[in-house]
Amino acid sequence: MDGQRATGDLVRTAVAVSSGAVTVEAVLEWLGDVIRPLRTARERSAGPAGAFTTTASKGTVEIRPTGALPAGRVLDFKASPELEAAVDARSAPDAWTRLQDSDAVATAFAQALAVELRENGKAQIGNLGAWSLGKLPDLTVFVRFRAHPTSSRMF
């Protein structure tokens, strides 16, 4: 990986794993095209990585100077079984390379997410949110996503 990127920076890692085939701008544009329709839709595919969804707020309260208002919907992410297999330490070290799609940006995003989660246990995209790993009692690995409050405001 490139020594000039910040640890956990998903966008720059996507550019690095694609060997420059995709640009930062292309990744951000693709991500916008995936997220934007969630204002009216419930779920949107993120290629081989999984899907972004919007869920009803689970008692979340947004604090504003005018008072506390219940938040509407919250951005969430469901990892694909392929992504969860790729980040599991029990899988082969190159399992992330199996995350393929016809869209080069979707492939780079999925592979970058797998690399960051496997190497650092976390990944993030600025004000969108952060991914981390969790383990069930039977040591099954799963991917968690926590949306940044600013990204959930648009829903």
Encode pLDDT of 104-128 as tens digits. Answer: 999 999 999 999 998 898 999 988 9
pLDDT band at 90 (very low <50, low <70, confident <90, very high): confident
Environment class of residue 149 by beta-carbon count within 10 Å: exposed (0-12), middle (13-18) or buried (19+)?
Answer: middle
Structural domain includes residue 3? no
Structural domain includes residue 2? no
pLDDT at 68 over 70: no
pTM above 0.85, yes or no: no
Structural domain includes residue 1? no
pLDDT at 64 over 80: no
Provide the domain limits for residue 71: 10-152
Which tokens go with 85?
Answer: 């297999």
Structural domain includes residue 24? yes
**Can you tell me the mean pLDDT for 89-112?**
86
The average confidence (pLDDT) of the chain is 84
Structural domain includes residue 71? yes
Structural domain includes residue 4? no
Structural domain includes residue 43? yes
pLDDT band at 69 (very low <50, low <70, confident <90, very high): very low
**Can you tell me the mean pLDDT for 124-136?**
90
Q: Which residues in 80-95 are b (16+ Cβ under 10 Å) and which e?
A: bebbbbbbbeebeeeb
Q: How many domains does the chain have?
A: 1
The CB density around residue 35, as the number of other CB atoms within 10 Å, is 18
Structural domain includes residue 5? no
Q: What is the dihedral of CA 103, 105, 110, 116, to 10 degrees?
A: 160
